[in-house]
Structure 1
Amino acid sequence: MSYQIDHIVLTILFAFAGLLGPMVAAIMMIFFDANNLFDDYKRRFANLNNISWFAMLLMISIIFTTLFVAVFISLLFGFPAEQLTISRLLLSMLPFALIAATFEELGWRSYGIDCLLAHRCLFVASCYFALLWGIWHVPLFFINQTYQHGLYELGPIYIINFFISIFPATIFANWLYYRCKRNIVAIILFHFMLVISAELLQIEPETKFIITLILLIISMLLIYLEQKIFFSRLTLSQHSLL
């Protein structure tokens, strides 16, 4: 339908239904759970006192610093300086970025990550989630006018880079999530800024390889420095005390 102008409304409705999937599934699992998870869900969404603003600013700084460093590195290889130009579509995509980040994280971090962590350490849970998150994005490669479809048209290597980039994004998001005592609002804001960083500048597709490489290095350094969080079998309450 996305390739037919007459079906644009249906395309948006079906895409929106897919976006709602994680949130709807998570709320159903929380609502019908016998351990009264709904109270915990409301507390983690409403209580902003648990947000570590230092951790938040650190993660956001890493994302945007990496973006500009990657662009300057690409200039050394002859790529155009016009990459530093602000994207013309930035303002128009801001509301969509916020909606996507909100609905996704009301599913992923409200229930999904905690569920995975119940039986494995955070590093392993993050690896499972990165795989799941990647699979969840697959349909977007076949929907016209999406970011992922643009990568599909460029070629397989760009698709591979996208899936690899999901791993450091997952590591950063999960680290921030538990540093903010599992606060859902904090992770929505981070997810929103992550999307903004991807759309902020008119960068060349090849520059994204540099971004992924830098983020992979930083994520591995974070895992090394925070081994207690990533490799210890901690309960959710113990994570909240770290």
Structure 2
Amino acid sequence: MNTIKQENQIIKKYKSPFIFYFLSIAIPWALWFLSGWFSYKTPYTRTLEWATGISSFAGLLTPLVIALCFMLPIKELRKDFLSRFFNFKSIKREYILIAFFLMLLSILAAQTISLFFGYSTSQFELRGAFTFTSALFPVWFLLIAAPMLEELAWHSYGTDALVSRFNLFNASMIFAVYWAFWHFPLSFINGYYHSNLVESGTLYSLNFVVSMIPFVLIMNWLYYKTNRNILLPVVFHITAGFFNEIFATHPMSKVIQTGLLLIVSLYLVITDKEMFFKRI
């Protein structure tokens, strides 16, 4: 009980959600729209490729820099931030397994269900190539770096800042909407994942937005169930991108996956109502 009280007290000190989230969207949007402008210029020279890559990566890095600016000057927040990388002793093993394997199981289950609707078994084959480009950086690097940098921002400062003002369910819903908008300018960068997603059709673009809801609910549930461990959300996010990229998955299977994850998230909300709806 004392541990819970201590956790609640420290969360209340993450008290600047509005300025954090404003800066974390305004600066990346400016940088990413600039990247989009660079990416469509012709001829697309090596200099423009560097400009696209650097401005894109700078936008990705921005929320973490802002989070550090809020935390590092305050001794108590700095200590709390650093301690949450290594607090594995009290974490149950099942949460670690969920972080590593839930997204793999969900995409395999979705592909299996899709077979009953006439989709091909070739989805289970390894793709052998990436579905998008990433300007200056290798795609494999961004599949690791992007989730890592995002979660080091969202789950070092951002999530707790929202939970200091709202219950966990409302905080998750607010962030899911915010996160969907946060990604919006990436759809204007030529060859990037979100740009290709828009070209694939309205249904699949909408699925990406809707998928934010269960993804955020599950990840935040995992985060608070593991005493606010930062590394497990990082792992969970990396596996989401990695396992959805390595298989030759039909886009409709990703729609099915979203449905499955919605069921999982609904189950978690119902069975853990106190955690989701009680204010700290």
Who is 1:38 aligned against? 78
Q: 1:122 aligns with which of 168, 175, 194?
A: 168
Would the alpha carbon gap of residues 140 and 51 (structure 1) be closer, same or farther in structure 2, given more than 3 Å must change?
farther
1:27 paired with 2:68, answer yes
Structure 1 position 32, deviation (Å) = 3.9
Task: Check the 8 A contact 2:106/2:260 in 1, yes or no.
Answer: yes
Task: Check the 8 A contact 1:2/1:11 in 2, yes or no.
Answer: yes
Task: Check the 8 A contact 2:99/2:233 in 1, yes or no.
Answer: no
Would the alpha carbon gap of residues 103 and 50 (structure 1) be closer, same or farther in structure 2, given more than 3 Å must change?
farther
Q: What percentage of aligned pairs have identical amino acids?
A: 35
Who is 1:75 aligned against? 115
Who is 1:66 aligned against? 106
Who is 2:267 aligned against? 221
1:157 paired with 2:198, answer no
Structure 1 position 180, deviation (Å) = 1.1
Q: Secondary structure at the match of 2:64?
A: helix
Who is 1:181 aligned against? 227
1:11 paired with 2:60, answer no
Task: Check the 8 A contact 1:121/1:233 in 2, yes or no.
Answer: yes
Who is 2:214 aligned against? 168
Who is 1:2 aligned against? 39
Name the Cα RMSD after superposition: 1.7
> Deviations for 1:42-85, whole angstroms, at most 9, x for unmatched residues?
11124443543311213443322221111112112111211111
Task: Check the 8 A contact 2:115/2:121 in 1, yes or no.
Answer: yes
39-48 vs 189-198, greater mean Cα deviation: 39-48
In 1, Cα distance between equivalents of 2:92 and 2:229:
9
Structure 1 position 97, deviation (Å) = 1.6
Question: When the two structures are aligned, how many residues end up with a matched partner?
Answer: 232
1:107 paired with 2:153, answer yes
1:145 paired with 2:186, answer no
Structure 1 position 103, deviation (Å) = 0.7
Structure 1 position 93, deviation (Å) = 3.7
TM-score w.r.t. the length of structure 1 is 0.90
Q: Which amino acid aligns with 1:21?
A: T
> Deviations for 1:66-121, whole angstroms, at most 9, x for unmatched residues?
2111111211211121111112136x644322211211111100000000000111
122-131 vs 148-157, greater mean Cα deviation: 148-157
In 2, Cα distance between equivalents of 1:50 and 1:105:
21
> Deviations for 1:153-184, whole angstroms, at most 9, x for unmatched residues?
11222111100001111011101111111111
